[in-house]
Amino acid sequence: MRKRPAGCHWSWCSPARSSPSSTSFIVNVALPSIETDLDAGSATLSLVVADYGLTFAVGMITGGRLGDLYGRRRMFLTGLALFTLTSAACGLAPSAEVLVAARFLQGAAGALLTPQVLAIPPPSTPGGAGGRRSRPTGSRWGSPASSASSSAARSSRRT
């Protein structure tokens, strides 16, 4: 019987990789509904968007370090559980203030989850297959950035 590699099975890591990054897009689409349903002002709506991004960005290095110290698999599962709970809290928030607090915590949970997802697949796949599996992700995230910078460079040459 083949021994399973330690770490995360790719089928779990792939959706977990996109969940924290897609959350900002989902919230931006939902802002008009949040404004009317929770009677939120423009400052509160700004906090709903900014809280997540701020805590996510600030916590990424700490989340990666916690994975190094306590194990990537443990921190992945903890981050996934916390991200799921905070996502439910965001969806069930009875007021704008609760939503702002839940988004803050959701950003921290995403910061704990994402570094583990990015670090787990390569070591957990046998025979170097992790490098082959990581390439589509790199090209998916890298292509829009390179296209945008190429477009900006072309437009700046025209002026």
Tell me how far apart the alpha carbons of residues 56 and 51 are, in angstroms, rounded to a whole number: 8
pLDDT tens by residue, 56-95: 999 999 999 999 999 998 999 999 999 999 999 999 999 9
pLDDT tens by residue, 110-151: 999 988 888 776 555 565 555 555 555 554 444 444 444 444
Q: How far is CA 78 from CA 48, 68, 71, in A?
A: 23, 14, 11
